[in-house]
Structures are given as structure tokens and as C-alpha cells.
Structure 1
Amino acid sequence: MSIYVMSQDNLSQMLEGYDDPAILVSADYQILATNSAYRRKFGKIILEDSPKCFAVSHGYDRPCDQAGEDCPLKAARESKRKEKVLHIHQTPNGKEHVDVEMIPIFDEKNTLKFFIELLKPVPLASGRPSDKQIVGRSKAFNEMLAKVTKVATTDASVLLLGESGTGKELISRLTHFASKRKEHPMVTLECSGLSETLIESELFGHRKGAFTGAYNDRKGLVEMADGGTLFLDEIGDISPSTQVKLLRLIETKTFRPVGGTEVKTSDFRLICATHRNLEAMVKGGTFRLDLYYRINVFPINIPSLSNRREDLPDLVEHLLRQENDKLRLTPSALRLLMAHRFPGNIRQLKNLLTRAAILSESNLIGEDSVRESITLDMKTSTTQEVEERTSNPDVLRENESAYIAWLLKENNGNKPAVAEELGISLRTLYRKLKS
């Protein structure tokens, strides 16, 4: 996509035509103008200081691609068309995920003149501990979040895949609130543990007397989701009979309340989630192939905590803040957590921190409290087994790397500062980085 213009003043005025925050950037990264939406969201920029976009957005002293991140300006310059990338920007509220869209501007001779950069903050997500509900900045997390922001603006059905405790319901909410349906309701059905009759009643509603206990007419979740989003959690747990009815609903957007004859319609966006291997279930005959293809239009894998371990320090701070904003971990307690594996993912981490806070005698949670919390978490484990597990050389080596990577990001790549925080020499840090 190319726009052919000559006047910088006209471009500056054109920025006001965008509802999203927008800036005008020169080919050498200088911010030339901002619109009012940008100033409301991110604050005023002193243009007389010739600010560079990478310095304002990230605090970098060089372009993003030279600092280890994707640079949308470079990509748009090379492709000569619109480019998009998910970045973590500095904002008045701290570091937040922002969906960046870069549009190249050419003159009538097809000479590249400027770029218009549109910035769309991602709702509910933050690159640092905050009052937002989704926190992370690791590569695995950002790749997942980029997919969410791309599919959110469409009406495509989304299938969230991942281990239990990874936050699939939070990601479903993020998808809804980033969509055009955000002003309409999002309704959720937890399919696990419900009988076939109860699931159908919850989904489609029922008429009085349809079954024992149906004393009144009841509207179902499908009808309540009209105009909005229907989220089915643990869809792999529904029975074959319910699968048939769900398939019909998805194909026709029509349904009948249990015990009723009237056919109703509902316009909803479908998001499903499961920790099960649906492909294996299809092969085993316990999940319908046609339904699988209906719900698997846009699959998104939610990374486990072990695959985004460098996010753990920020997650710890975020979860502790939810408990009590005065709670903190000592460095040794954090290192102990970094060496621990979390098969229950973020849900398990949250429970462990809650126990540690209860066991601690002050707002500063020490290593002993964390170790006792881990012991309680491992129901059949003794303290000695916990010691052996958390001192495993392979586990420690793996998580030390993630911890160093996190510290480097925290200190903007300042290696002497990282070495000092780790209590090691700069030479030792370089040796660890090399290995």
C-alpha cells in the first residue's frame, strides 16, 4: 500500500483522520508530527528536539533491528508496502504491548518520503508487571500475542491449545476485547465435568418441564452471546451427541432450546480451548473430524511456563502485586523459583506464591518460605527431594540462562550492571553468555 503526497503539513493534518494514535516519521527515524489520539495516549513529544522513534518508544540509542527487535520501518522501506509488528513500547503506564502498523509514503516520482506509524495498544496485555491481566515479553509470548492481535479483528473461529494453567481463558478475553464485538457480551461455558443434558441446557437454554428440575424457561448462552463472543473451554470433553448439535449450530447459527420447537438464530464469534490433543482424539474416533475443522480455523498455541521462563520474574511480581502490592521476593527466593519446574504453569505459580506469602513473616518473602511452599506443592515429596530437584545442574543451567536474559532486558543490555546484580565478574558473565 502506498500513498503519494508532497506536503509534510498536509500529512500532519491527515494524521487527525486516524482514530488510533499516529505519528509521522521521516526515513531516518525522526518523529515529525503526532495526532491528538497519540498525545492523549502516550503524551506530548517535543518535536524541536528531533526525537527518534526508537528512542521515544523503546529508550534505545539505535534502530530496533540493531537492538535485537523487528523494525517495521525497515521492513516497510524494503517492501515498499504496509508492514505490521507487535512491539513493547514505553508508555505513561509503563511498558505495554502495541500493535504497530507502518505505512510508507511516496511522492509523485515514487520516492520514499515519510512513514505513517499507527499504534494500537493491546488490551489487557502488558510487557511489565501492571494492573493488566496478561504479562510477558519473551519471544514465545510475543509470537502468541501477535497471532491474537491479527485474528482478533476478524470473525474467524479460534482454537486455543495449551497445557492446563497457561491462561487460555485470559487469551480468549483478550481476543474478544480486541475485536469489533467488544461492546457486546462474551459468555463462557466450562465444558469439563458437565453432563450432556446440562451442557445442552447451558448452551441452548430450555423450556419449562423439558427435564426434571426445569421449573422455568431459561435463555441459553448461545442466545446471550448474540453479537458477541461464545467461549467454550475444554471443548474436548463434550460428548459425541453434543458434538453433532454443536456442529449444526456452527454451520447454521441456528438452535432450538431443550424441550422447545422454535428455531432461533444467534450471531456470535466462536472461541474454543482445550488441553487435549484433538488430532489424536479424531484418529481415535472420540472427536468428530468435521467439527474439528470447523473450530480449528485459526489455532493458537499458548506457551507453557517452561517455554517462556524468562517471563517468570515479571509474572512473580505481577502475581504478588495481585495479592498485596507490598509483597516482594528476595533474590535467592527468585532464583529458587527460576530453578523449579511448573507442570501446572501460571496457575501453579500463583498458588505457590500465595502459600509462600502466608508462610512468610514479613512482606519480604525469603528462600525458606518459597522452599516450604514448594515442598507443600509436591505432596509426596520430602524436603530432601525438593533440595535435589532444585539443585539439579541441568535445570539450574537452563534457568540461569533465562534469568540472565531477563536481567539484560531489565538493564537495557548493560552487561556491567547485570554482572554486578549477579555478583559475578564481567569476564564470568561474558563466559556464561558465550556458552
Structure 2
Amino acid sequence: MKPLPELMSYLEGLSEPHILFDTQYRILAANAAYRRQFSPERSVVGRTCYEVSHHFGVPCDKAGESCPLLKSRESGQRERVLHLHHTPKGEEYVNIELTPLLNAHDEQAFFIEKMEPLRVAHGMSLGQGLIGRAPAFQKMLALVARVAPSQATVLLLGESGTGKELVAGAVHQASPRAHHALVAVDCSSLPENLFESELFGHERGAFTGANAARGGLVEAASGGTLFLDEIGDISLTMQVKLLRLLETGTYRRVGSTELRHADIRVVSATHRDLDEMVAVGTFREDLYYRLSTFPIHLPALRERRGDIELLVTALLDRVTPQRQLRVSEAALRRLQAQPFPGNVRELRNLLERSALLCDGDTIQVTHVEQALLSGRRPTVALPGSQAAPSGHDIHGNASSTVTGAPGALKLVERTALRQLVAEHQGSRAVLAKKLGISQRSLYRKLKALDPP
């Protein structure tokens, strides 16, 4: 059964990328917008959608992906998913909206798929934006893609260092408000006596030192997004005033009786357990429900270890833009074994320390070990061992080694160097280059291994 020429003509005139395919996943048509954006050099007609988009040999659901066609068959209606597609620019996250078309017997005969790249996230090591491809990351990103076009308030939940400000930025950039300001408010850094005036502004003479009227952050975010970071840190008094803003969309400057309208979308974030705070009375339940219309949990780094290699490459480009640094396989394995209670922020700090300890162009496992020992949560681990939380061995038992004790750094460095020397078959010049140090530094270190 062939689609009607009128349908083909309709698709061709659409400004967004669309493809038409049958129940066997075969692409029957791709409009001009799709050809320009996704396949400028080769026709996709006659090929399967999963082979074109994913380079799979089987349908998405057989390869561990969420298949919109299968979901549409089960529900009988339109379905949306977020997929990581192969494109001329590399792998990109793409919003998929699939609509089934029925024949005269009310059976699904064809499917129209609309595609919209999600510009705020990447499946490869680009310098900016959200980066990842682990299942936990994709689950979080799918929620971002779904809620961003709406006006719903969003509550970002997760441990410190998981990238809540980046996700807030992604929600803003993928929303209709993207051309207006994203204004971030660090609630934990504002004292209670300044919070109201910073947020809502004040009139001249409203308090000592108010020599002129001043607009607040709500006004600065007009038309855009107000991001309230660490919302769990604000006082009960300010919670009441924030609740009024969310419930009525209005506010007053300090010292004013004029009611002002707020044209903002609110995204908030916290690492605290708001449910527990509500239970003990330190956070208002009504405010919690206003903020959490659409909660999104940000996965910890330990939940997405497969993304560490991508993150390492991207973070090194950010912390050492003038150097073309890479990480050895042994160093990467060491990083992947770390628990990272501080999440991506801790990984970034560790990489920056490791880069400062490296004189060459490759960060070695010895540099990572040194950086770990000089950090807040150092772990003494021999080369090839798995990392464990500070104060515990790799089996989780209390460790007799006192991390950070005098001489611990030298002990780890010497142990690692002995193993590298034992395994190395080439010259000392090659070994020095491998370690990222000069031959003179290597000579001194080797001499220290066996003092006279």
C-alpha cells in the first residue's frame, strides 16, 4: 500500500524535519527539511528508520532503546521519545514525535515522525552544555525535553555537584522563554534581611541605605526564567512571600503598596530532602507543592559511570583550554573507580589538580593518585586496585591506612613507579614521556626508590 500523493506533498511543505514510514520501519518519504538537516548527501528512502538514525540492525526496542512505533502500536495514539541519533554533526539528542495514520479499516498503516534536535545536550565530548549517554542521564534528559516547552514550575533534586544549574539552563534554553533572561538566585548566600529586597526590589527610603528605588531579580527575569538555587535554605518567613508570588503571580517591592505582575517561569533546585523538611516543619508543604509541579531527579555520577570518559574529555577542555591534555587508560580506569561523592564538581576539581601535577601532555595514574591524596577525600589505592571511600578498603572494611598521613603520598608514588618500571620495556626517555615528566625528574625519582 502506497501513501497518497497529497500526503507526500503535505510533508514536503512542512518546515520541520519529517519522515514517513510503514509498519515494517521502511522510510517512504523524507521532506526537504529532513534532507537538509539529517541527510544532505544520501537518500534515506527505502532504508529502515532504525538503521538510518541509530545504525542498528534491528528495531530500537530490540537494541535497548525506547521505540516510538512500538509504543504507538500499544497505545494507539501519538507518542514522544528522546533519542540519540547519528547526524552529519555527530551524535545528537533528538526529540521524536510519532503520529500513526489509520487506513479505512482503522488499522495503523503509516507513521509520520517529526524530529527536533535538542540543542542543550550532547552524546559526545563537546565543550559546553549537558554531556552524557548513560541510561540514567537519558532518563533525566527526556524529562527536561518534555517539560521545557511548558510553563510548569520545575524542581531539580539531587546531590551537590550533579549540575543542577546546567540543567536549569537547559530547561530555559529549550523553552519559549529562551530569548529572555535566565536569572539565578543563590538562596543560600542571601541573608534573610536582604532576601526580600533582592528578590522583589525596594522603593527609595524603604530602609536605611535605600537611597534610590531599585528593581529586584524577579523584574530582571521578566519574560524569562527565575532559577532559585538551594531553595531549601530559605527561612519560613521568606517561604510565605515566595508562595504568594507563585500562587498569584504578583508581588510588591519593599516599601511599596503597588502590586506588580511577574511574567516569569520558576525553576528551583536543592540537594536537601524537602519531604523530610516538610515532615519536621522547616519547609512549607504548600510551597513544596507549588515548586514541585514537575520534579526531576539528577543522577549522581556513580549512577552514570559510563559517562566519565566523555566528561573527562570535556572538562579538561574547560579547565586547561591552552593545553591539549589527554588521560592515559590507567588513569581513566582509576577515575572510573572513584566513588565521587562530590559528583561532577569533584571530578572537575580532581582533573584540574591532576593537570597541574602533570608536566607533559598525558595525565598518568600517578598524577591522579597524587591529586587524590591532596584532595578532601583522598584514597590510598595501589595501581590496578579499585577505589573505595576514604577510611575503607576495597571490600568496605575499615582501613588501617590513614589517608593523608605524612609519607602517604610518597608511598603511593613510589609503589606506582616501581610497578611502571617493572612493566616498562623501553628506554628511560620513553618512560619519562609516558609519565609526563622530564628525564632529570625521572632520574631523581628512580634514585629515591633505592637510596644508597
Query: Partners in 2 of 1:81 and 1:382 — Cα distance?
Result: 53
Cα displacement (A) at 1:48: 7.2
Higher mean displacement: 268-277 or 14-23: 14-23
- Residues 257, 74 of structure 1: alpha-carbon distance in 2 compared, 3 angstrom cutoff: same
TM-score, length-scaled by structure 1: 0.84
Where do 1:359-374 residues align within 5 Å? 359-374=357-372
Pick from 251, 274, 281: which aligns with 1:278? 274
Provide the residue aligned with 1:426 in structure 2.
none
Matched to 1:318, the amino acid is A
1:47 partner SS: coil
Query: Does the CA contact (< 8 Å) of 2:127 and 2:315 recur in 1?
Result: no
Matching of residue 345 in structure 1 with residue 361 in structure 2:
no
Instruction: Provide the secondary structure at the position in 2 that maps to 1:122.
Output: strand
Unmatched segments (≥5 aa) in structure 1 = 396-435
- Structure-2 change in CA distance of 1:12 and 1:321 (3 Å): farther
**Match of residue 179 from structure 1:** 175
Separation in 1 of the partners of 2:277 and 2:187? 16
CA shift for structure 1 position 11: 2.3
**1: CA distance, partners of 2:383 / 2:291:** 42
Please give the alpha-carbon distance, in whole angstroms, between the structure 2 residues aligned to 1:113 and 1:93. Answer: 32
1:239-388 pair list within 5 angstroms:
239-322=235-318, 323-324=320-321, 326-378=324-376, 381=378, 383=380
Q: How far apart are the structure 2 equivalents of 1:285 and 1:382?
A: 38
Q: Does 1:192 align with 2:188?
A: yes
Q: Structure 1 residues 100, 279: CA separation in 2 closer, same or farther (over 3 Å shift)? A: same
Once residues 200 and 15 of structure 2 are traced to their aligned partners in structure 1, the CA distance between those partners, rounded to angstroms, is 38
The CA deviation at 1:167 is 0.5
Q: Are residue 90 (structure 1) and residue 125 (structure 2) matched?
A: no
Whether contact under 8 Å (1:160, 1:299) holds in the other structure is: yes
Alpha-carbon distance in 2 for matches of 1:70, 1:119? 15
User: What's the offset of the Cα at 1:356?
Assistant: 1.0
**Secondary structure at 1:123's aligned position in 2?**
strand
> Size of the alignment, in residue pairs?
390
Whole-angstrom distance in 1 between the partners of 2:213 and 2:175? 32
| Matched residue SS, 1:315 | helix
Does the CA-based 8 Å contact 1:305-1:342 persist in structure 2?
yes
Per the alignment, residue 437 of structure 2 pairs with: none
The reply on whether 1:33 has 2:37 as its aligned counterpart is: no
**1:265-303 Cα shifts (integer Å, max 9, x gaps):** 112111110011111111211111111111111111111
TM-score norm. by structure 2 comes to 0.81
Q: Where do 1:225-236 residues align within 5 Å?
A: 225-236=221-232
**Structure 2 gap segments, 5+ residues each:** 397-452
Deviation at 1:17, TM superposition (A): 4.8
Aligned partners of 1:53, 1:71: CA distance in 2, in Å?
11
Q: Is the 8 A contact 1:223 1:265 kept in 2?
A: no
Q: Is the 8 A contact 2:301 2:343 kept in 1?
A: yes
Q: Residue in 1 aligned with 2:18?
A: 22
For residues 164-203 of structure 1, give each alpha carbon's deviation from its aligned partner in whole angstroms, at most 9, with x where no partner exists.
Answer: 1100111111111111222222211110121112221121
**1:51 is the counterpart of 2:47:** yes
SS at match of 2:349: helix
Matched ranges for 1:382-401 at <5 A: 383=380, 390=387, 392-393=393-394
Contact 1:374 1:386 survives alignment (8 Å): no
Deviation at 1:388, TM superposition (A): 7.6
Letter in 1 for 2:360: S
In structure 2, the CA distance between the partners of 1:350 and 1:382, relative to structure 1 (3 Å rule), is closer
Q: Distance in 2 between matches of 1:68 and 1:384?
A: 35
**Matched ranges for 1:74-85 at <5 A:** 74-85=70-81
Quick one: which amino acid aligns to residue 335 of structure 1? R
Name the aligned partner's letter for residue 334 of structure 1. L
Q: Which residue of 1 aligns with 2:405?
A: none
Determine the structure 2 residue equivalent to 1:162.
158
Amino acid at match of 1:308: R
Match of 2:142 in 1: 146
Per-residue CA shift, 1:308-344, capped at 9, x if unaligned? 1111111111212223372211000000001111111
CA apart distance, 1:384: 6.4
CA distance in 2, matches of 1:39, 1:48: 9
Identity %: 48
Q: Distance in 1 between matches of 2:282 and 2:381?
A: 43
> What RMSD over aligned residues (CA atoms) do the two structures have, in Å?
2.3
